[in-house]
Amino acid sequence: MVMNTRDVENILLRIEALLDLHGANSFKSRAYGRASRAIRSAGVDVVQVVENDQEIAVDGIGPGIAAEIRELVQTGMSSQLEDLVERTPNGLLDVMGIRGLGSKKVRTLWKELGIESLDDLQEQGKAGKVAELKGFGAKTQTKILEGIAELKANMGKMRLHTATAFAEELLPRLQDLHRVARVDIAGRLRRGGEEFSAIELVLVTDDPDATLQEIREREILSDLQTKEGAIFGTIDGMYKVFLHLTEPVSAALMLHQKSSARDYRFMLSIPLHDQGYELTDDALLQDGKPVKLESEEDLFELAGMQFIPPELREGIDEVPAALDRKLPELVTEGDLRGILHVHSTWSDGHNSIAELAGEAHRLGYEYLLMCDHSKAAIYANGLDERRLEEQGKEIDEINKEYHPDEFRVLKGIECDILANGSLDLADDALASLDCVIVSVHSNFNLSEEAQTERVCRALDNRYASILAHPTGRLILTRKGYPIDLKQVIAHIAERGKFIELNANPYRLDLNWRLIRYAKRKGVSVAIDPDAHAMAEFGYLRYGVTIARKGWLTADEVLNSLRLDRFLGAIAKSRSH
């Protein structure tokens, strides 16, 4: 396993949790948590430090843990973590995944009720036994049962980046099989989405039996089964993979059909029928005889319509639009000129502003908007007015390293929206910035009406230009807070503001359906990585996928603008 600094931090936290679970000395377990937080606060890339054979000189990390970090980076494994996992019942690791349930409470459940799985815990919770434990009670028991239901519902599901990574790992391994001519990503993953129950691929092969045997011999997938021309298996022990096998003559049609929603396929069959063709789940017929397609494009030509990109094939209104040749030219990653919403070591990021700027410039972007947290985010070392001013001076110095016509670091902030709808920093401080992003990080339990009013009031501040991650959701982890986003989007339109599509695959917030609503309201969308490290600039690819699914063009994406036009748009948003 290739490690990055975030992986190291997370493994140290996992060791801390498992030590607590096994009743280790609290001084020992806390040392791992402190080490993880120390790495984040120091902004040190420990992977690079180890690879350069340098000393891990971070306050809070002693020689013992430093040696373990070195082992992690060099081998991709931790012998202590492996030992702890081996001593932990497998089902108990699932119990530790319940949101809000700490290691010490899990230990109590394990030792006092003998709980070693989610089913055990669910049974004891329903019997009222959990509530009887000291430090738990009826309210905690109810939350635990809700957490179990949520966890079970999400088991085996993948976020977009996980599904993409697995699919891209499988592609070359399957392509290397002797009787496979071509492999393509299909299914919902090709259409784009926020979460997935399975990965689907189309394999072009002239010998399905030989292909199955070779997949088995090379151990590419586990739990192999076959059914009706498809191979079913799992990867990484739990994630489902469907391999649709087809001969070269029917490859294009198979890829199309396996990449499209059922409603869309039915809608497409109508114009094809009008042209004398019959479209079934696995064939295109004319006068009862199969029609060969060289590519997906051929299918749309036969129907007399525009090519429909995979992201749009949901069965909503894309077929009528394609018949009228009114589908838009969708945004691409290459259309983005600036990276917005980036955190540095000034708050909770991993890289310095200079490092982030260097990487953004190397990637060919024209501007980078720094948006560290504001002071209410104490947990993230948020900036107050004084530190924000100091950061601005640093940015001024960094900008001297670049030609102003080629690249520029912009001054910004991710400013907390407080419970009453006011912003976390004084207007004088916000006025000094190039752009202000506002977001909710607290008081998620307000009513929908109060939350909506709170956000709209914040957007009335002249300096608030972009609303970030507007629902606060974390995919497969946390539902968003209650809010009437249609009302918020209408308010943004009235005020001439902008809304973020947070490209972090744990968020992908705004969802693609509401992006379409924002588009109809004339609201431009900022595709932002919410990056806390240089590597997370790569999240933009996932944001672009969702933006395309929401029918966005480059003209409707805020950071596709050149720098002068971007700054002009922000200035105009402040004039309302």
Quick check: 63 pLDDT over 60?
yes
Whether 441 and 543 map to the same domain: the answer is: yes
At 524-563, the pLDDT tens digits run: 999 999 999 898 999 999 999 999 999 999 999 999 999 9
Question: pLDDT value at position 97?
Answer: 86
Mean pLDDT of the chain: 94
Whether 536 and 454 map to the same domain: the answer is: yes
Whether 385 and 318 map to the same domain: the answer is: no
Question: pLDDT value at position 252?
Answer: 97
Q: Taking the CB of residue 378, how many other CB atoms lie within 10 A of it?
A: 8
Residue 72 lies in a domain: yes
**Which percentage of the chain shows pLDDT scores above 90?**
81
Whether 303 and 348 map to the same domain: the answer is: no
CA distance 436 to 43: 24
User: Would you say the C-alpha torsion 61, 66, 72, 73 has a positive or negative sign?
Assistant: positive
Mean pLDDT of 214-239: 92
Quick check: 243 pLDDT over 80?
yes
Size (the chain), residues: 576
277, 305, 323 — which closes off a domain? 323
At 318-337, the pLDDT tens digits run: 999 999 999 999 999 999 99
CA distance 219 to 515: 41
Question: pLDDT value at position 199?
Answer: 98
Residue 103 lies in a domain: no
Question: pLDDT value at position 69?
Answer: 92
252, 270, 294 — which closes off a domain? 252
Q: How confident is the model at residue 420 (pLDDT cuts 50, 70, 90)?
A: very high
Q: Residue 49: give its domain's CATH number.
A: 1.10.150.110
Q: Residue 530: give its domain's CATH number.
A: 3.20.20.140
Q: Taking the CB of residue 456, how many other CB atoms lie within 10 A of it?
A: 20
Whether 400 and 287 map to the same domain: the answer is: no
Whether 369 and 422 map to the same domain: the answer is: yes
At 369-380, the pLDDT tens digits run: 999 999 999 988
Whether 305 and 285 map to the same domain: the answer is: yes
What residue numbers bound the domain in which 186 lies?
158-252
- φ, ψ of residue 386 in degrees (nearest 5): -65, -45
Burial tier of 228 (Cβ tally within 10 Å: 0-12, 13-18, 19+): exposed
Question: pLDDT value at position 350?
Answer: 83
Whether 270 and 247 map to the same domain: the answer is: no
Question: pLDDT value at position 377?
Answer: 93
Q: Residue 182: give its domain's CATH number.
A: 3.30.460.10
Residue 274 lies in a domain: yes
Whether 206 and 190 map to the same domain: the answer is: yes
User: Would you say the C-alpha torsion 494, 497, 503, 507 has a positive or negative sign?
Assistant: negative
Whether 239 and 361 map to the same domain: the answer is: no
Residue 125 lies in a domain: no
Q: How confident is the model at residue 228 (pLDDT cuts 50, 70, 90)?
A: confident
Residue 110 lies in a domain: no
Residue 111 lies in a domain: no
88, 109, 132 — which closes off a domain? 88
Residue 100 lies in a domain: no
Quick check: 4 pLDDT over 80?
no
Select the more confidently predicted residue: 39 or 514: 514
Number of structural domains (the chain) is 4
Query: In terms of Cα–Cα distance, which of 74, 39, 89 is closest to 60?
Result: 39
Q: Which amino acid is at 175?
A: Q
Whether 526 and 469 map to the same domain: the answer is: yes
Whether 359 and 463 map to the same domain: the answer is: yes
Q: How confident is the model at residue 2 (pLDDT cuts 50, 70, 90)?
A: low
At 265-288, the pLDDT tens digits run: 999 999 999 999 999 988 999 999
Residue 423 lies in a domain: yes
Q: Residue 303: give its domain's CATH number.
A: 3.30.210.10
Query: In terms of Cα–Cα distance, which of 254, 270, 262, 178 is closest to 215?
Result: 178
**Which percentage of the chain shows pLDDT scores above 70?**
99
Question: pLDDT value at position 100?
Answer: 81
The pTM of the full predicted model, rounded to 2 decimals, is 0.86
Quick check: 430 pLDDT over 90?
yes
Q: Are 534 and 504 in contact (CB under 8 A)?
A: no
